[in-house]
Structure 1
């Protein structure tokens, strides 16, 4: 078989990889995407934030998302802080700087991720599923392609640039021993699906419920298939084995207040699933001939449902950087440096705020003021608006995660 050549080879067909590949193809580049699984496939991470909506528009799937049956998420309902009464965050209250983005979606990831991957194909990306990347090609220390196996056959592909969007497999970060673990956010999650549960009343019906349980927290996410995703996040050091973790989950549900109300008539209809929820980031987000995006660059605790946002926005940011460096190769180092700075700046803001928020002993206004300190120190907005902007991903869009903030880079 003749050696293949592409402008860009993307490893991973999740939200980050599909977004990056699609946007590069729409800009006229010849793009290969290699995905180890066959879609549709299961994935956790069902709650999104309004910061994804502009990327849907970029991708050309905004109308499809509106027509799909996904539950519209207008905000978050929290049982957190000194008071034990629930308090609501409505995305529509974020203020004038955020534009028209007043909602998000609760998605079944097998359906959502398939929409993204199908759109990549539609836009001209060559998509290979059931395909495993076994190595990266390097020449003079520059990444220049991939080796992969498909249906038992080995193949080699060369590319002008390579994107690692391999999710928590973090292929290139592990190759270079770049992963840094956040010692304060080493958690474990256990979850299951329930049928027959209630939703919150009125406009909050599509909200995610997040209930603090002092040394852990619960989520409840309503899904359009009639189930609720219900999960528990707790420090890994407090978790026992699988059987003990399941018992802890059931006991925590029983001791909850708001979660228990929503599940009073519900029945568990799935097995338990568990995952290590350790936050991390790579020491570097790029190297000669490659960059990392999505979970391959870093993973943030799921408290504010920022995972899909970071994947989509990171993929969009990566596509803009790669488009520029392919057109002006002499500026590659400059462009990649700006990509990393922009991505890392927002990532670090989110991590910092998650650490602060995990102290559930504060009044809710303290969380609002901390958000303002991080994203709006000159107080253009109210502290509550800044809190909403930060947790909805909209501060990242207008303030931080962009490549065109300096005349020098001019992206």
Structure 2
């Protein structure tokens, strides 16, 4: 048994998209990074990468590699929801294409690119993460075939997914959403009876919902998402899977005539969020921070977004320690905001099946829409403000008395900086950009102009060409500021 120690800027735990992307970026930005990972013991799952994820792949520097891999292209989704008779086709906008990826192959590519960027990749199992007294370093214990080792790190990024290896004894925060079990099977047939074989297929049924993602022209994975059994079930996994698939209409017919290649196997697909997302010297990233219902198709995209922001925060803390507290608060707030927004979206999508089927499965999930907190401003005052702006040829804007400017973190390049944000009683949080409109610049210009067209032209003149906004977005944000009593109309 050997005992060796080294010291690095960051240890990344986990070799999925979140871990490899965060390690890649930190290494590119000049930091010493060790990534510790162990291959997942479960079978590989097919997942979707929507076209909107390519911007994140660009930021991380791996888009060309991922697009150049032999992953099937996808033009969109086909969805049969709330007991509708025929599936509806949902194409990606502007004739764009996404990718259907097998997670183990994607993970392998991203790990390779992280190593090329300068990260040290170690195949190892993490035993523990122990902060040193004084708070400047953490000790990460891990084991390899050659024995046990310890690496000391200024920052630890836990990207270990549901395992949450940095907090084995810390349960996630209480969650209002019901638990969900995924049963997954790989099927094969020569030709699938669907309009577009590249699509992700989604179907709701009375006791759950099902999805299917292609692995190749011949193979697809089909999963059913359901409530976990209450108490001990006498059914085998295979019996339960096929009984649930038989409750569907469309996917049952799609799979008729196909043969099973592997599975079924079970995965916990319950939503959760960690009690602590960012703390001194430790960030939880991707699924280690939170997990959202896979209906959103945001699994990998969410992991990439989380990894990018975690890398920015870690880089900021390493290079500007005075910003550590603000950076940690910003990271935690962004993760929680994304989690609530995606869960609310799923809850709203659950309303139609809840009405169509009237079952406990859907009613419980739809209930989250009214239980989840919302940071959005009520629609009525915004609509009223828009009507008033359009009804009168001229206006005199003035900044409302309770509005103030506060310094809050904002991403600039690859680091966080403190810049002015607007705070007002009607806003649940301080804001700087809404629909890409710089609201600090807008409220500074507004009192100088009597007509909205002149204000719009002045705003875009004062804005760099790449950041100029269309009139529709500008009017929407101006109406929001008036509706929230950030700007008053004299």
Aligned to 2:58: 57
The TM-score with structure 2 as length reference comes to: 0.69
Residue 153 of structure 1 pairs with residue 155 of structure 2: no
Indicate if the aligned counterparts of 1:192 and 1:230 stay in contact, CA closer than 8 A: yes
Residue 30 of structure 1 pairs with residue 22 of structure 2: no
Aligned to 2:338: 346
Deviations along 1:287-329, one digit per CA (max 9) or x if unpaired, are: 1111100111011121122211111110111011111111101
Aligned to 2:114: 120
Indicate if the aligned counterparts of 1:165 and 1:293 stay in contact, CA closer than 8 A: yes
Report SS of the residue matched to 1:358. helix
Deviations along 1:247-274, one digit per CA (max 9) or x if unpaired, are: 2321333343221332233111113111
Report SS of the residue matched to 2:86. coil
Q: CA deviation at 1:81?
A: 2.2
2:160 alignment partner, one of 161, 166, 170: 166
Whole-angstrom distance in 2 between the partners of 1:173 and 1:190: 27
Instruction: Give the 3 Å change call, closer, same or farther, for CA 44–355 of structure 1 in structure 2.
Output: same
2:182 alignment partner, one of 158, 176, 189: 189
Unaligned residue ranges in structure 2 (runs of 5+): 357-365, 384-409, 422-431, 433-490
Q: CA deviation at 1:120?
A: 0.7
Higher relative contact order (CA 8 A, sep 6+): 1
The aligned runs of 1:355-374 (5 Å cut-off) are 355-359=347-351, 360-361=353-354
2:105 alignment partner, one of 80, 93, 111: 111
Indicate if the aligned counterparts of 1:21 and 1:120 stay in contact, CA closer than 8 A: yes
2:221 alignment partner, one of 212, 217, 229: 229
Q: Which segment is superposed worse, 223-232 or 234-243?
A: 234-243
The aligned runs of 1:5-16 (5 Å cut-off) are 5-16=7-18
Whole-angstrom distance in 2 between the partners of 1:226 and 1:408: 54
Instruction: Give the 3 Å change call, closer, same or farther, for CA 12–347 of structure 1 in structure 2.
Output: same
Residue 3 of structure 1 pairs with residue 5 of structure 2: yes
The TM-score with structure 1 as length reference comes to: 0.82
Q: CA deviation at 1:225?
A: 6.4
Whole-angstrom distance in 1 between the partners of 2:282 and 2:258: 47
Residue 68 of structure 1 pairs with residue 69 of structure 2: yes
Instruction: Give the 3 Å change call, closer, same or farther, for CA 375–47 of structure 1 in structure 2.
Output: farther
Whole-angstrom distance in 2 between the partners of 1:190 and 1:336: 36
CA RMSD of aligned residues (A): 2.9
Indicate if the aligned counterparts of 1:349 and 1:374 stay in contact, CA closer than 8 A: no
Q: CA deviation at 1:45?
A: 5.0
Q: CA deviation at 1:343?
A: 1.7
Instruction: Give the 3 Å change call, closer, same or farther, for CA 299–319 of structure 1 in structure 2.
Output: same
Count of paired positions: 370
Whole-angstrom distance in 2 between the partners of 1:149 and 1:50: 39
Instruction: Give the 3 Å change call, closer, same or farther, for CA 220–21 of structure 1 in structure 2.
Output: same
Q: CA deviation at 1:179?
A: 0.7
Unaligned residue ranges in structure 1 (runs of 5+): 94-100, 380-401
Aligned to 1:77: 78
Q: Could you list the runs of 4 or more consecutive aligned residues of structure 1 that deviate by over 3 angstroms after TM superposition?
A: 237-245, 373-379, 402-406
Q: CA deviation at 1:212?
A: 0.5
Report SS of the residue matched to 1:309. helix
Whole-angstrom distance in 2 between the partners of 1:263 and 1:145: 50
Whole-angstrom distance in 2 between the partners of 1:302 and 1:6: 35
Whole-angstrom distance in 2 between the partners of 1:45 and 1:195: 14
Aligned to 1:397: none
The aligned runs of 1:190-269 (5 Å cut-off) are 190-196=183-189, 198=192, 200-201=194-195, 204-224=196-216, 226-237=218-229, 241=233, 243-269=235-261
Report SS of the residue matched to 1:347. helix
Instruction: Give the 3 Å change call, closer, same or farther, for CA 45–307 of structure 1 in structure 2.
Output: farther
Whole-angstrom distance in 2 between the partners of 1:231 and 1:35: 27
Instruction: Give the 3 Å change call, closer, same or farther, for CA 355–8 of structure 1 in structure 2.
Output: same
